[in-house]
Structure 1
């Protein structure tokens, strides 16, 4: 089989890239070893995060670093065995979290974040998936008066970005979420984001739209990628597929393909977990809630109430470890009346992250026809459609809606 472009990876980034290339006249074949939306795109918190204009930075305060060093927190946990291997990457992350480089990362990401909702909206309408999406925003919840006071100041400092939010005192917060426990002292309701009740289902719906419009989805092994007579070729269950262009949109697995080709992009994995719960009788969760201090999100999902954890630094292939989930669950049960677990075991996901807090989007640089779209960290769902649009514009010779230079793979050379 031959096409114009092969897209490797059927998560939200790969599917969105395929759709945007298809809309610009490219014949595209989408390839993944699993079903669309079954990897990292399946298990996230379901936030289309328009309000996250400041990237998630590494803590700089000595007091925070000391607390994290004890490895007893629920928001971040690390494997002692993996720490020596991850330390150089973490140091680069810490360097890039200083005020000046963090400001650069914020400016770089802003054009993508600003357009994330409208790019999703266009696909949601075309795929008729409006039932999966709510426009009610999400709420940061605070259990500590000092933490709440600082959060309000931080929110006010974002005024130049024109974000919509409401500061909720204790009474207002409990009126908005009547089942909350008494520990909750206040919150910030961010109104610009949208929430998704089934992120994996949304991705599969986008993939179905791609197929409906004439695209092909085929199971195959991205690691078989090779150059043959000037084209790129990948082995699939239906035989080899060739194309002059190929996009690596494999999220956390991208390194398995670009490293053998000679690229030294510092892609690291932040692991995370989710578990679904029933609500206790009479309790209803109306909005997605984020406990910033404990580092988890509670989100009303089609499968139940989903608790998603923060960050675990461990080898990608290490077995799942429930320590972090149990720590989060203990706090979450005080915040909201969770009932029994629904899933037989926790889901383990892997977020693809780069130390300067921005993805790689654009040409690979050393190989003709090789393109990258990965490294979206915590915001793969948020940025999938908008980064797919940007790459499609670059690949088809259209004028990009924003300067793609900040996302170039060459920045790591």
Structure 2
């Protein structure tokens, strides 16, 4: 147990989870973020606790897909031409991590954390009296085209090697399993271990409220720098104020790169821009989250409506959103479910903080021992948010986190 003062930079699912676990250990904790809790990427994700998601974004053959990414701005994986020069170094590392042996190693690393994710989610939800927000329904991947399902066999084989539990459904079983779908699907895979959160944004807000109720402090301000002593940071500068501390955690999502550099670590972090459409009055509600294997996006029945979320756009933090990508999700959704009521529809774009090897940074600092880092989760930020928080609290307390932390180190590149 500890009695230090930690400052956690970032109020998304990773930052708030980290704050709660540090607080649980008896530490005094202040969270600093320029936005309210959950207002970043945590607000718009697919809300799936995807414990099967051990396959990195870059897989064998991705190099040959790059030209397609450049030519199709509405494809599931796209690159904005104007951003290509800036992202080129990241992209080279991305492709370098796509070899078969490397992908095998990455899948082992990811799975080691993913198997702990649901327990960590349930621990925090119970702590904040929000257990009912987590639904253990599993999720269903559906495929309309035979060739897409055949290409997915590689994924299934890799998941099987990692011990992922799944069931392949026959065509006649799909609509019995999920009656809301149109009768257009020939193949489906059910993952019983996956769960989902009924409102991902509300969950972060409620966890933050519990943190405050137990003595935590949240400061709404942008961090501008650090005061560094002989042993590391002694204060965080934010909003024109200096906040003294004993230790710092950087969990600022897509904005973690600059902060990490200030603390002695140059990290190859970049951004995957993701989109969603939420229909509060859709009139269709699947029994569980779904995944379109043909078009690579998720469908989640949230308390706030039916959400279509996904796609990857490499375009940085500055470019305006391309909401034609959201409309494409909507078009695919109508094919899946038939007519949908779009009354009250909302479109959204957010920034997934992504490492080129698809492995998040969960690490103590190499330059300063009183610094800790939790960012770069890509598509599994909600999934690994609580387990990241628990691991950082373990590292801070000198406990064994229960998995090999070397692949998650901030200085691994």
Provide the TM-score with structure 2 as the length reference: 0.92
Partner of 1:208: 209
Report the CA distance shift for 1:303/1:167 in structure 2 as closer, same or farther (over 3 A): same
Partner of 2:279: 277
Partner of 1:45: 46
1:258 corresponds, among 248, 257, 260, to 260
Number of residue pairs matched by the alignment: 410
C-alpha separation in 2, matches of 1:98 and 1:357: 13
C-alpha separation in 2, matches of 1:32 and 1:62: 37
C-alpha separation in 1, matches of 2:162 and 2:109: 14
Residue 90 of structure 2 aligns to a residue whose secondary structure is helix
**What 5-or-longer segments of structure 2 have no aligned partner?**
none
Partner of 1:123: 124
Post-superposition CA distance 1:264-290 (Å, at most 9, x none)? 211000001111125555x33222111
C-alpha separation in 2, matches of 1:157 and 1:332: 28
C-alpha separation in 1, matches of 2:138 and 2:87: 35
Report the CA distance shift for 1:338/1:250 in structure 2 as closer, same or farther (over 3 A): farther
Contact 1:82 1:315 in 2 (8 A): yes
Contact 1:14 1:249 in 2 (8 A): yes
Partner of 1:177: 178
Partner of 2:72: 71
Contact 2:144 2:184 in 1 (8 A): yes
2:235 corresponds, among 233, 236, 252, to 233
Mean Cα displacement is larger for which, 92-101 or 365-374? 365-374
Residue 273 of structure 1 aligns to a residue whose secondary structure is strand
Post-superposition CA distance 1:325-372 (Å, at most 9, x none)? 222222221111352435565211000111122111222222342221
Contact 1:278 1:338 in 2 (8 A): no
C-alpha separation in 2, matches of 1:229 and 1:98: 42
| CA apart distance, 1:92 | 0.9
Partner of 1:106: 107
C-alpha separation in 1, matches of 2:304 and 2:270: 29
Contact 1:220 1:234 in 2 (8 A): no
* Cα root mean square deviation, aligned: 2.3
| CA apart distance, 1:91 | 1.5
Contact 2:30 2:217 in 1 (8 A): yes
| CA apart distance, 1:164 | 2.4
Mean Cα displacement is larger for which, 179-188 or 60-69? 60-69
Residue 45 of structure 2 aligns to a residue whose secondary structure is coil
Post-superposition CA distance 1:278-313 (Å, at most 9, x none)? 5555x3322211112212111111211111121011
Residue 376 in 1 paired to residue 377 in 2?
yes
Residue 410 of structure 1 aligns to a residue whose secondary structure is coil
Provide the TM-score with structure 1 as the length reference: 0.92
C-alpha separation in 1, matches of 2:229 and 2:342: 50
Residue 394 of structure 1 aligns to a residue whose secondary structure is helix
| CA apart distance, 1:72 | 5.2
Contact 2:361 2:409 in 1 (8 A): yes
Post-superposition CA distance 1:71-96 (Å, at most 9, x none)? 25531122111112212211210110
Report the CA distance shift for 1:127/1:261 in structure 2 as closer, same or farther (over 3 A): closer
| CA apart distance, 1:153 | 6.3
Partner of 1:91: 92
